[in-house]
Structure 1
Amino acid sequence: MSVLFVIGGARSGKSRHAQTRIEALPGRLAFIATGQAFDTEMEARIARHRADRGPRWKTVEAPIDLPAAIDGAARHADALLVDCLTLWLSNLMLANHDVETGIEKLCGALKVCPVPVTLVANEVGMGIVPENALARRFRDEAGRLNQRIAAVADEVVLVAAGLPLSMKRPG
């Protein structure tokens, strides 16, 4: 198992860093997308991201069942990039799925994945306390999710202003 967790704020460069790291690996690559295009802005964002990836990439959409997508993609790719865990968490919460069960299944899938996996997430706990209960719950759940993934990961990199900072090194 080899799990890289790349975390950072919005527009910090975390996705670019994760993609660059995984593209340095040989073989077939799978991009597991958790975002959904509910409006034209998100459609354009998804199209831009697809255009940034070359022919080595196969895209798998997994807004809810991320553990199954990781298992399936690992059968046909030599490395996986999941972008992003924060949107996946939003999807789980808005669909009234059990977040703790989802995180448990995700951690289990990462522990047995036979190919390298890179996961991207937003750090949402460095700002002000949100004013409504749902936003506070989301912030709290995201913090717990990020801690759980960091514990499972072999390497954790924080990206701020486009600069990577190693937080946990392999080995």
Structure 2
Amino acid sequence: MALTDHRLVLGGARSGKTRHAMALAEATGPRRLYIATAEAHDAEMAERIARHKAERGAGWQSVEAPLDIVSSFASFGTDAILVDCLTLWLSNLMHSGRNPEIETGRFIEGLRDVRSPIILVSNEVGLGLVPETPLGRAFRDEQGRLNQRIAAAVGSVDFIAAGLPVALKRPEPSSGR
């Protein structure tokens, strides 16, 4: 499958990006894989994860992959794969001491071998204030670079604001030659 069959869905917190991504995946067919990158390090996050699982309902298989998303791709025969979200994945990479640039390159290479369409969810964190701390600024910068590399690699990019999708990128129409 070409990278042009994969899509990035960007937006801010609570913008509706996961809901949009789920609707896209559900439109592809009944067998869908949800790859979650979140880890429950506290009770509030555990509650969020449980709520998200309950909201998905039937037709979704779920796998947790906080660091190694690519190995989850081949595990299931599906109509679509949804990765939610690259922002938490990046945070996990940085906290584990991994190099985000190298890991992003590996991730993009891994996308090339997937036969199902993949929908990637990521936060756009660069629209707000400059973070106060060096770690916050480093994270914001890495997130911006990650989003740019993924957006360049995939065929479609949607930006979600107030629950409304805006198409930022669509595949070039083939010339038929």
Report the TM range for the smaller structure's normalisation: over 0.9
Show structure 1 runs of 5+ residues with no match.
none
The residue number in structure 2 matching 1:4 is 7
CA RMSD of aligned residues (A): 1.0
- Give the SS at the match of 2:38: coil
Match of 1:40 among 30, 36, 43: 43
Match of 2:67 among 57, 64, 69: 64
The one-letter amino acid paired with 2:52 is H
Show structure 2 runs of 5+ residues with no match.
173-177
CA deviation string 1:35-55 (max 9, x = no partner) = 001111111111111111122
Show the 5 A alignment for 1:77-156.
Answer: 77-156=78-157
CA deviation string 1:3-36 (max 9, x = no partner) = 0100000000000000011101113100000000
Whole-Å separation in 2 of the counterparts to 1:127 and 1:96: 26
- Give the SS at the match of 1:112: coil
Whole-Å separation in 2 of the counterparts to 1:157 and 1:42: 26
- Give the SS at the match of 1:81: strand
Higher radius of gyration, 1 or 2: 2
Report the alpha carbon displacement of residue 71 of structure 1 after superposing the two structures with TM: 3.3
Whole-Å separation in 2 of the counterparts to 1:168 and 1:19: 19
- Give the SS at the match of 1:72: coil
The one-letter amino acid paired with 2:63 is V
Aligned residues: 169
Report the alpha carbon displacement of residue 132 of structure 1 after superposing the two structures with TM: 1.0
Does 1:14 find its partner at 2:17? Answer: yes
Does 1:24 find its partner at 2:31? Answer: no
Match of 2:53 among 41, 44, 50: 50
Determine if contact 1:71/1:109 at 8 Å carries over to the other structure: no
Whole-Å separation in 2 of the counterparts to 1:52 and 1:121: 19
Whole-Å separation in 2 of the counterparts to 1:61 and 1:124: 23
Identity of aligned residues (%): 52
TM-score normalised over the length of structure 2: 0.92
The residue number in structure 1 matching 2:163 is 162
Determine if contact 1:111/1:152 at 8 Å carries over to the other structure: no
CA deviation string 1:140-166 (max 9, x = no partner) = 000000000001111000000000000
Whole-Å separation in 1 of the counterparts to 2:107 and 2:74: 10
Whole-Å separation in 1 of the counterparts to 2:125 and 2:70: 23
The one-letter amino acid paired with 1:170 is P
